[in-house]
Amino acid sequence: PKELHEVVQKLDEKVEEFDKKIKESAQVEERKQLRSERKGPKQYLKQFKDFLARKQKYQNDMSIFGERNSYSKTDQDATFMRMKDDYMKNGQLKAGYNVQIATEGQYTL
């Protein structure tokens, strides 16, 4: 992530330079040219900011996963399981718990 932050910072500086040049320019044609030159770095800046946000989200997801294969976004303790077929014979994946209960002498252990 350190490299991504550096790239975002450099691109941000580059876009700010173009913004400053556009603001200072008095000629219409020159401003048009500068805007078209700014377009590329600005698109890359947007992409890299999106990459940073996604990387953060993925790291958060991986910390929630732990040793499991999946988790539910609404209830992070639950995991996705194949549930019983409904009346249309559709098997579905739903958030569920793998609860195992042992009993002895009618008492739950």
**Domains, in order of start, for the chain:** 2-65 (1.20.58), 79-108 (no CATH)
- Do the beta carbons of residue 74 and residue 54 sit within 8 Å? no
Among 16-30, 42-56, 87-101, name the one with the lowest average pLDDT.
87-101
The predicted model gives 93-109 an average pLDDT of: 70
Residue 69 confidence (pLDDT) above 80: no
- Percent of residues in the chain assigned helix, strand, coil, to nearest 5: 55, 15, 30
Closest CA to 62 of 52, 48, 76, 50: 76
Greater pLDDT, 49 or 103: 49
Contact 97, 89 (CB under 8 A): no
pTM: 0.63
Cα–Cα distances (Å) from 37 to 12, 18, 26, in that order, read 14, 8, 17
